[in-house]
Chains A and B, each alone.
Chain A
Amino acid sequence: MVSLARKNLLEDIPRFLVAQAGILFAVTLVTIQLGIFSGFSKSTVKLIENSNADIWVASDTLVQLELTLPVPVSELIKARKMPEVARGDGLIFSGAHWFPKEGELVRVRIIGFNPQSSLYQPETVLEGSVSNLTEPYTAMIDIFDQNTLQVEGIGDQLQMSSLPVEVVGMTEGNTSMISNPFVLMSLKNANAYLRAGQTSQINCQLPEKGSQLECINMFHPEPDDQATTIEPNIEPRNLAASDVVTFILIKAESGQDLSALKDKLEQKLNNVKAYTKEELINITETYWQQRTGIGLVLGLGTVVGIVVGTVVVSQILYSSVSDHLKEFGTLKAMGASAGMIYRIIIEQAVWMAIFGYLPAMLLSFGVAYWINSSQGTLLLITPTSAIAIFVITMAMCIGSAIFAIQKVNRVDPAIVFKA
């Protein structure tokens, strides 16, 4: 088929390029806005995504991943005894202070996990090995936090809370846009830092009508005369029932109904709520999206991009059609139906969409690569968002054809015989 649309579009190359540049920037703007939104959302839940657990058990006070109370290890022990549970591990996710060699104190987030378990493993270990974390007072940090934490490299000795810490590994991608730098370590070590400078006391009582013992964990600052030293002479000990973790990660036996298991965990364990991985991701993402209003801000940027794109395409299609009005009149006189005429204009819009989308994606991937290699994953373009943006671009261009179509509709074919 002879494509008048394509030929007319390519007939005036400079104008075509100007039009495409307009679409290119509009689509790039939309892509970057959506990319930052995905990157932000994803970064708030990366920790959850890196886990291999089916179910996350947390205190029933949980608001989101970073806002929850601890759960006693006694509950983890109970969970492990359940026949439906293949594996259960604690995860400590808690704040601490990091003392760089010089300069200001930094707030960090300890991620304490079982290095021997697959339920949580950090993303991309660049240097060192997770198995090194079993050594006392060792930690891994993320390469993007290296400057903030003033770590020169592996083997650096620094201080966290009131204890020494040795950096034994470097990861990539274990950061969150809304959180403090992550410090990865074994549960045992994490527990030691958590308790440094504090004593804990667990109070248990049997409620009047209940058959279950209810325990409350209380923390007190240690008396001054017992203040811990920078040089600990004891190795971190294994977690005891009276210690606390932030989450209990559960791997179900194969073939288990997860929602039934969730219910059962909530029944058997005290004061907890169980979430599937997806549920916790949802809660946390939604919390941050609403809390920061990022959806609104970036949504506004997206709308601006779409409006600019629509205006550019409308304008170009309209002026292109106006320039070729006589040709459309000729076609109409020769018997082209309204459908045939619309098809030509819409085809022109589709070509503009395709030739705008492809370079815009290239540009966006370039920008994403550039930003992400210096800032961590800030801008995320997923296949789904790439497809969504293609659909938006198409809709934008085809929607823009309306004015051009109206213009052609008004052309009287009788003009052809007027000189």
Chain B
Amino acid sequence: MASPSVTVQAEQITMFFKSGQQEIPILKNINWKATRGTIQLLMGPSGSGKTTFISILAGLLTPTQGQVYLLGQEITHLSRQKRTAFRREHIGFIFQNFNLFPALTAAENIEIILNMKGVKKEQARYQAQELLQQVGLHLYANQKPKDLSGGQKQRVAIARALAGSPCLIMADEPTAALDSQSGYQVTELLKHLAKEKGCTVLIVTHDPRIQDVADHITYLEDGRLILPN
């Protein structure tokens, strides 16, 4: 079992994907952990298994073998409902393509997630405004995603990921769709807010320019961890 300061711990994760008759190993016996309040970067070449790994850590995929402990709770053996509830309570998500709801305004994109987490009407509206303020977009509360720039969209997505104060933030390629300057700004903002709120942040990236925000970098290659020198 993990010590209390460890928020994420993966033990002997092995993942096979079926391809026709064959079973192809994608992740090979990975052991990994992250301590509370750190910014973790997961890097590696394309096809090395980064997305597969973060999906397993987030409880979206079940590994062929191995255990994942989040906040001390083993999640790979939980029922689908319990895992869903766990994600709702404890994990915020950020995506490469933002995944905002196009029919909703910036504020509503955050409110709907707060509603989902049990925060009611007025309170949700207030918290959404506050979160938008924190990402510097309170003047854009009533804009729909199509009227925002890429960087602004990702800032809304960060605000949404932070809604309901989850302890873990999982982001896959959050800067890939942004130009380098807004990519950097967004990562800085994420780091700043995460530190302030004590979140553990796991970022999968190709982007070498955001390396300096990380407390720790893990390299994945061909389904194995490469220790940094």
Interface centre among A331, A337, A416 (most CB of B within 10 A): A416
- Inter-chain pairs besides A8-B103, A419-B96, 7 sampled, C-beta below 8 Å: A2-B111, A330-B99, A334-B88, A334-B92, A334-B116, A414-B61, A419-B173
A395 within 8 A of B: no
14 CB contacts below 8 A, A to B, read A2-B104, A4-B101, A4-B104, A330-B95, A330-B101, A334-B88, A334-B91, A335-B85, A335-B86, A335-B87, A337-B84, A413-B60, A416-B99, A419-B97
- The residues of B that contact A419 with a CB separation of less than 8 Å are 96-97, 173, 176
User: How many interface contacts (CB-CB < 8 Å) are there between A and B?
Assistant: 79
Interface size on B, residues (CB 8 A): 37
The reply to whether A2 and B97 contact each other, CB–CB distance below 8 Å, is no
* Residue of B60, B101, B121, B176 touching A1 (CB-CB under 8 A): B121
Q: In whole angstroms, how far apart are the Cα atoms of A331 and B101 in the complex?
A: 10
The reply to whether B113 and A334 contact each other, CB–CB distance below 8 Å, is yes
* Residue of A7, A326, A338 touching B103 (CB-CB under 8 A): A7
- The residues of A that contact B158 with a CB separation of less than 8 Å are none
Q: In whole angstroms, how far apart are the Cα atoms of A260 and B116 in the complex?
A: 64
- A1-54: which residues lie under 8 A (CB-CB) from chain B? 1-2, 4, 7-8, 10-11
The reply to whether B99 and A4 contact each other, CB–CB distance below 8 Å, is no
* Residue of B111, B116, B173 touching A335 (CB-CB under 8 A): B116
Q: In whole angstroms, how far apart are the Cα atoms of A193 and B176 in the complex?
A: 97
* Residue of A4, A10, A338, A416 touching B60 (CB-CB under 8 A): A416
Q: In whole angstroms, how far apart are the Cα atoms of A4 and B61 in the complex?
A: 26
Given contacts A2-B112, A414-B60, A417-B172, contact A333 B93 (CB under 8 A): yes
The reply to whether B81 and A337 contact each other, CB–CB distance below 8 Å, is yes
A262 within 8 A of B: no
Interface string of A334-357 (1 = CB under 8 A from B): 111110100000000000000000
- The residues of B that contact A332 with a CB separation of less than 8 Å are 84
- The residues of A that contact B116 with a CB separation of less than 8 Å are 331, 334-336, 340
In the complex, how many angstroms separate the beta carbon of B160 from the nearest chain A beta carbon?
A: 8
Given contacts A330-B99, A334-B93, contact A418 B112 (CB under 8 A): no
Q: In whole angstroms, how far apart are the Cα atoms of A378 and B93 in the complex?
A: 61
In the complex, how many angstroms separate the beta carbon of A13 from the nearest chain B beta carbon?
A: 11
- The residues of A that contact B113 with a CB separation of less than 8 Å are 334
8 nearest A-B pairs in the assembled complex, by CB-CB distance? A335-B88, A7-B103, A11-B103, A335-B87, A2-B112, A414-B60, A330-B99, A417-B172
Q: In whole angstroms, how far apart are the Cα atoms of A337 and B81 in the complex?
A: 7
In the complex, how many angstroms separate the beta carbon of B150 from the nearest chain A beta carbon?
A: 15
Given contacts A1-B115, A2-B104, contact A333 B51 (CB under 8 A): no
Interface string of A113-142 (1 = CB under 8 A from B): 000000000000000000000000000000
B45 within 8 A of A: no
B211 within 8 A of A: no
B29 within 8 A of A: no
* Residue of B91, B108, B115 touching A7 (CB-CB under 8 A): B108
A214 within 8 A of B: no
* Residue of A4, A338, A416 touching B93 (CB-CB under 8 A): A416
The reply to whether A333 and B87 contact each other, CB–CB distance below 8 Å, is yes
Interface size on A, residues (CB 8 A): 25
In the complex, how many angstroms separate the beta carbon of A414 from the nearest chain B beta carbon?
A: 4
B6 within 8 A of A: no
Nearest chain B residue, comparing its CB with the CB of A7: B103
In the complex, how many angstroms separate the beta carbon of B54 from the nearest chain A beta carbon?
A: 6
Q: In whole angstroms, how far apart are the Cα atoms of A7 and B111 in the complex?
A: 14
Q: In whole angstroms, how far apart are the Cα atoms of A399 and B194 in the complex?
A: 45
A263 within 8 A of B: no
Interface string of B6-47 (1 = CB under 8 A from A): 000000000000000000000000000000000000000000
Q: In whole angstroms, how far apart are the Cα atoms of A347 and B115 in the complex?
A: 16
B55 within 8 A of A: yes
Interface string of B103-138 (1 = CB under 8 A from A): 110001001110111001100100000000000000
- The residues of B that contact A333 with a CB separation of less than 8 Å are 58, 60, 87, 93
The reply to whether B88 and A336 contact each other, CB–CB distance below 8 Å, is yes
B221 within 8 A of A: no
Interface string of B47-65 (1 = CB under 8 A from A): 0000100110010110000
B188 within 8 A of A: no
Nearest chain B residue, comparing its CB with the CB of A6: B103
Nearest chain B residue, comparing its CB with the CB of A11: B103
Given contacts A414-B60, A416-B95, contact A4 B87 (CB under 8 A): no
Interface string of B162-177 (1 = CB under 8 A from A): 0000000000110010
A327 within 8 A of B: yes
Nearest chain B residue, comparing its CB with the CB of A337: B84
Q: In whole angstroms, how far apart are the Cα atoms of A265 and B93 in the complex?
A: 82
Q: In whole angstroms, how far apart are the Cα atoms of A118 and B206 in the complex?
A: 93
Interface string of A380-419 (1 = CB under 8 A from B): 0000000000000000000000000000000001101111
Nearest chain A residue, comparing its CB with the CB of B110: A2
